[in-house]
Amino acid sequence: MHEKEHVLEILRETRNALHKRDVIKLRSLSNETIHSASIYKDTDSIMLAVILYSLGKIIERQNGGKVKGCDEFCKKASLFLEKALASLNANNTKEFSRNLEGIIKSINTLSPELKNYVRDVFEKAKINKASKIYEHGISLGKTAEILGITMWDVANYAGAKGVTDVSLTKTQDVKTRIKLAMDFFK
């Protein structure tokens, strides 16, 4: 785990955000984690980013009361995050990883309806995080590889969100590129 102090700080802030059910804060903490994930491709940072984003989504939608049992899942996840914080504090990175994985594994113990719902949220969170990494300048293929998803998912999502709509990506005059394409088909 890179930048241990930074992750510890994120976990502490997560504790407060979960307590206050502060969805916006959870999302922003997830984004902070993704910076180091982009550089270090460190699986724990990626997992943490996906977990925080997913918890935010679950809490947000829970307010609509659509799926029962979300509250229990969040409490369970919160306990795992507490343990993860304690293990990282004790420099036990293996235990830290195990606790993050515990959250993912606990999805399997949920009722069928809730399991499908939470899995779906986690899958979508992965795509969202992938689009963030792609936005950071990592290629589409590499991003999909890091998150373990397909390029189809990332391309679709990133395209819809306009993540590449940045002037720095304009690297050649439009006319020149069009001419290149037209000439190639002559």
Partner 1 sequence: MLKRELNLLWTSSNNPKMSKKNMLNKVLIFDSGSLISLAMNGLFPELKALKEIFNGYFIITEDVKREVLDRPLTIKRFALEALKLRNLYEEKVLQLPKDIGVNNKELDKEIKKIIDVANNTFFEKSKAIQILQSGEISCLALSRILTEKGINNIICIDERTTRVLGEMPKNLEELLRKKLHANITAKKENYDFFKGFRFIRSSELMYVAYKKGLVRVGKSPEVLDALLYAVKFKGCSITHEEIAEINKIG
Residues found near partner 1 in the complex (CB under 8 A): 35, 38-41, 134-142, 144-145, 150-152, 154-156, 158-160, 162, 164-172, 174-175, 177-178, 180-182, 184-185
Half-sphere exposure of 151 (CA within 13 A, CB side): 5
Half-sphere exposure of 82 (CA within 13 A, CB side): 9
Q: Which residue number, 90 or 166, has a Cβ lying nearer to partner 1?
A: 166
Q: Which residues contact 147 (CB under 8 A, 6 or more apart)?
A: 46, 50, 126, 127, 129, 130, 133, 154
Q: Which residue number, 9 or 71, has a Cβ lying nearer to partner 1?
A: 9
**Smallest distance, partner 1 to C-beta of residue 37, A:** 10
Instruction: Return the number of other C-beta atoms located less than 10 Å from residue 150's C-beta.
Output: 12
Q: Which residue number, 108 or 169, has a Cβ lying nearer to partner 1?
A: 169
Q: Which residue number, 60 or 153, has a Cβ lying nearer to partner 1?
A: 153
**Smallest distance, partner 1 to C-beta of residue 186, A:** 9
**Smallest distance, partner 1 to C-beta of residue 153, A:** 8
User: In which residue are the tokens 């589409």 written?
Assistant: 140
**If you ran DSSP here, which 8-state letter would residue 3 be given?**
S
